[in-house]
């Protein structure tokens, strides 16, 4: 077995490829090497489970649909191993077999691609490699959490992202720290010590008159009802995460928020003067039918995982769709998309005559 390639920090970068076709296995291995990951190839599904369990740190697994006809069973077996419960698994299908795609997703695959769709394969493997890149260095995050366990967990995740963490247990403490330091992200629970909640904190930050009002904010809560999620997003939060959550999920949510916040505007874009102003109406027609459906699901407060389950697609495919929606509409976060969809719904209702554009008061 080839030695797993190491990153500069010493982290393993191995990808297990389970594929009976030598030509296909070599093509996938070439992609992996180009992304600085070391491919470990296995042609028999029966041996793959033992190999996956023995590799020190597997960053991803690629399974060909035709491998012994046992690809679905292999996915199920891999998900039974605690250390591989959240490892990305790419399942490759030979043709457009909807039943097989759904079966793979139900079994636990995070992405399904056709062998002929090279761009899909490359994007999926790139997503595996993304978790191995050097974390950002410097910066601070403000954590507002009165539960010691979750406060420490969030602080550890921030450390893995290369940013320091300041802790507060109330809105009052948080605002005091917010005045003293410049933060790259804010993570707040909803229920806190004191009279004010995390939702109140989001509102107060978004009402600030300077650029600090645009800091990325992730809200966490023990409650996962639709009304609460929508209220959090309406107030201006960039995301909502329900307890209990995996440290890895928090890592990716924060990392994505930080990367979007750091991304410069495109040359033909200008920053909006008012976050409440809707994007250009002509941009609405640029969304595909699936993108429109996903945009509506986001506006309803559904998480990426829930959207993936609803449409029978992978979590990473949902992420890709949402990023394209943001790009097409010139939006920076989910809160902006919720506002946009509500405004579109109102505009459509006015156009169809369901809501009068100018109503008359009684007696006029």
**Average pLDDT across the chain, whole number:** 79
Side-chain-facing half-sphere of 8: CA atoms under 13 Å? 3
- On whether the CB atoms of residues 22 and 29 are closer than 8 A, the answer is no
pLDDT at 8: 38
pLDDT at 3: 44
Query: What is the rounded CA–CA span in Å between residue 216 and residue 336?
Result: 12
Walk me through the domains of the chain, giving residue ranges and CATH numbers: 14-130 (3.40.50.2300), 140-262 (3.40.50.2300), 281-351 (1.10.10.10)
pLDDT at 6: 44
Query: What is the rounded CA–CA span in Å between residue 62 and residue 124?
Result: 10
Please name every residue paired with 144 in a beta bridge, in sequence order, or none if there are none. 168, 188
Structure tokens at 125: 């493997």
Query: What is the rounded CA–CA span in Å between residue 74 and residue 48?
Result: 8
Q: For 98-184, where are the alpha helices, taking DSSP H only?
A: 98-107, 118-130, 148-160, 171-180
Q: Which of 252, 243, 222, 260 is nearest to 337 (CA)?
A: 260
pLDDT at 122: 81
Q: Give the Å distances, CA to CA, from 154 to 49, 251, 296.
A: 32, 9, 30
pLDDT at 165: 92
Supply the DSSP string of 277-324, one letter for each residue. Answer: SPPPGGGGGGS-HHHHHHHHHHHTT--HHHHHHHHT--HHHHHHHHHH
Q: Which of 56, 125, 23, 126 is nearest to 41 (CA)?
A: 23
Q: What is the DSSP letter of 84?
A: G
Q: Give the model confidence (pLDDT) of 128-157 as tens digits.
A: 777 655 555 578 899 999 888 889 989 988
Beta-carbon contacts of 309 under 8 Å, excluding residues fewer than 6 positions away, are none
pLDDT at 264: 44
Q: Which residues of the chain have pLDDT under 70?
A: 1-12, 66, 68-69, 95-96, 131-137, 262-285, 316, 347-364
C-beta neighbour count of 88 within 10 angstroms: 23
The dihedrals phi and psi of 44, each to the nearest 5 degrees, come to: -125, 125
C-beta neighbour count of 154 within 10 angstroms: 26
């Amino acid at each position: 077995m080839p030695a797993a390639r190491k990153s500069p920090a010493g982290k393993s970068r191995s990808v297990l490829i389970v594929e009976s076709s030598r030509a296909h296995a070599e093509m996938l291995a070439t992609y992996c090497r180009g992304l600085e990951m070391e491919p470990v190839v296995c042609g028999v599904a029966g041996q793959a489970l033992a190999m996956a369990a023995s590799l020190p740190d597997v960053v991803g697994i690629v399974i060909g649909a035709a491998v012994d006809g046992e690809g679905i069973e292999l996915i199920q077996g891999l998900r039974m191993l605690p250390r591989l419960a959240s490892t990305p698994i790419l399942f490759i299908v030979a043709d457009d077999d909807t039943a097989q795609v759904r079966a793979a997703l139900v079994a636990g695959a995070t992405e399904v691609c056709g062998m002929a769709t090279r761009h899909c394969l490359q994007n999926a493997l790139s997503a595996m490699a993304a978790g191995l890149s050097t974390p950002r260095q410097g910066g601070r995050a403000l954590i507002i959490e009165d539960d010691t366990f979750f406060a420490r967990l969030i602080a550890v995740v921030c450390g893995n992202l290369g940013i320091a963490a300041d802790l507060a247990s109330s809105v009052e403490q948080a605002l005091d720290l917010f005045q003293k330091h410049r933060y790259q992200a804010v993570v707040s629970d909803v229920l806190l010590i004191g009279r004010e909640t995390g939702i109140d904190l989001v509102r107060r930050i978004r009402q600030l008159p300077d650029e600090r009002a645009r800091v990325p904010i992730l809200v966490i809560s023990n409650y996962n009802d639709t009304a609460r999620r929508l209220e959090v997003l309406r107030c201006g939060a960039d995301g909502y995460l329900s307890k209990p959550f995996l440290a890895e999920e928090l890592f990716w949510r924060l990392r994505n928020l930080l990367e979007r916040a750091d991304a410069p505007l495109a040359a033909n874009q200008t920053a909006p003067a008012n976050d409440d102003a809707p994007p250009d109406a002509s941009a609405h027609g640029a969304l595909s039918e699936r993108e429109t459906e996903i945009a509506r699901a986001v506006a309803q407060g559904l998480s990426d995982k829930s959207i993936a389950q609803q449409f029978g697609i992978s979590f990473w495919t949902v992420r890709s769709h949402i990023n394209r929606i943001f790009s097409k509409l010139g939006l920076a976060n989910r809160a902006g998309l919720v506002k946009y969809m509500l405004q579109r719904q109102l505009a459509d209702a006015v156009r169809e005559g369901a809501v009068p554009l100018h109503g008359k008061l009684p007696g006029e």
